[in-house]
Structure 1
Amino acid sequence: MIELRLDVEDLADTRFVISPLAEAALSLRVWLLPHYYVLQLPWLRSAAAALGDLDIRLLLALVGAHRAVPDFLTARPDDPLPDFAAELDRVRRVPPGKIAADVRAALQGRPVPAVLTGELDRPARLRDRLADLLAAYWDAVLAPHWPRMRGVLEADLLYRAQRLARGGARLLFADLHPTIRWRAGMLRLDLSYPHTELRIPITGRGLVLMPAVFLRTPGLPLNMNEPPLVSYPARGIATVWETAPPTRPGVLTDLIGRPKATLLACLDGPASTTDLARRLGVTPGAVSQHLAVLRDAGLVTRSRAGRSVLYARTALGDRLLRPQTPAPAPDAPSARPLHP
Structure 2
Amino acid sequence: MQDLARVRVCSDPHFQWELVLSLHQLQPGSTPGASPADVAQWRADTLAALSGQSLGLRVHRHLLPLAPASSYFPDFLTPYEGMYGFEVGLDAVLSTPRGRIGSELHRLTTRSGAPSWGAELAHGRLSALHLLGDTMRAYFNSALVPLWPAITDRIATERTRLAAVHATRGVHTMLANLFPAAIWHPRDRVLETPYPIKHSVHLDGRGLTLIPSWFCSGSPVAFADTDLPPLLVYPIDHTPAPGPVPDALSKLIGGTRAAILATVTFGTPTTAILRRTGISASQLSRHAAVLRDNGLITEARHAGRTFYTRTPLGDTVTSPSTSPLRSSRASRSRGAGRC
TM-score (norm 1): 0.81
Q: Which one-letter code corresponds to 1:13 in the other structure? A: R
Shift of 1:174: 2.3
Matches within 5 A, 1:178-193: 178-183=180-185, 184-193=187-196
Compare relative contact order (CA 8 Å, sep 6+) and give the higher one, 1 or 2: 1
Cα contact 2:261–2:314 (8 A) shared by 1? yes
Larger fraction in helix: 2
2:153 to 147, 151, 154: 151
Q: Which one-letter code corresponds to 1:31 in the other structure? A: L
Q: Deviations over 1:140-182 (max 9, x none)?
A: 1112221221111011111101111111123202221233111
Matches of 1:177 and 1:77 in 2, distance apart? 24
Match of 2:256 in 1: 259
Q: Deviations over 1:281-318 (max 9, x none)?
A: 44445444432332333322333344532222233322
Cα contact 1:63–1:107 (8 A) shared by 2? no
1:293 to 268, 285, 290: 290
Secondary structure in 2 matching 1:231? strand
Shift of 1:120: 4.1
Matches of 2:107 and 2:245 in 1, distance apart? 50
Q: Which one-letter code corresponds to 2:41 in the other structure? A: P
Q: Deviations over 1:92-111 (max 9, x none)?
A: 22112222333343455222
Q: CA RMSD in A?
A: 2.7
2:59 to 56, 60, 73: 56
Matched, 1:279 2:279: no
Q: Deviations over 1:212-235 (max 9, x none)?
A: 000112111111222111111123
Q: Deviations over 1:168-204 (max 9, x none)?
A: 12320222123311111423324342x32x5432111
Secondary structure in 2 matching 1:311? strand
Shift of 1:65: 5.5
Secondary structure in 2 matching 1:123? coil
Cα contact 2:19–2:144 (8 A) shared by 1? yes
Matches of 1:118 and 1:135 in 2, distance apart? 22
Contiguous gaps of at least 5 residues in structure 2: none
1:15 to 8, 13, 24: 8
Secondary structure in 2 matching 1:219? coil
Cα contact 2:16–2:77 (8 A) shared by 1? yes
Q: Which one-letter code corresponds to 1:85 in the other structure? A: E
Cα contact 2:213–2:235 (8 A) shared by 1? yes
Distance 1:47 1:67, change over 3 A: farther
Distance 1:65 1:141, change over 3 A: closer
Matches of 1:310 and 1:103 in 2, distance apart? 43
Matches of 1:199 and 1:64 in 2, distance apart? 21
Matches of 2:91 and 2:78 in 1, distance apart? 14
Matches of 1:203 and 1:179 in 2, distance apart? 24
Cα contact 1:65–1:107 (8 A) shared by 2? no
Cα contact 1:76–1:208 (8 A) shared by 2? no
Distance 1:108 1:256, change over 3 A: farther
Matches of 2:109 and 2:310 in 1, distance apart? 45
Cα contact 1:180–1:188 (8 A) shared by 2? yes
Distance 1:107 1:296, change over 3 A: farther
Q: Which one-letter code corresponds to 1:170 in the other structure? A: H
Secondary structure in 2 matching 1:56? helix
Distance 1:317 1:103, change over 3 A: farther
Matches within 5 A, 1:68-87: 68-77=72-81, 82-87=84-89
Distance 1:278 1:47, change over 3 A: farther
Match of 2:244 in 1: 247
Instruction: Determine what percentage of the aligned residue pairs are the same residue.
Output: 29
Matches of 2:252 and 2:179 in 1, distance apart? 38
Matches of 2:160 and 2:46 in 1, distance apart? 29
Distance 1:102 1:280, change over 3 A: farther
Match of 2:300 in 1: 303
Distance 1:47 1:64, change over 3 A: closer
Secondary structure in 2 matching 1:119? helix
Distance 1:277 1:131, change over 3 A: same
Q: Which one-letter code corresponds to 1:310 in the other structure? A: F
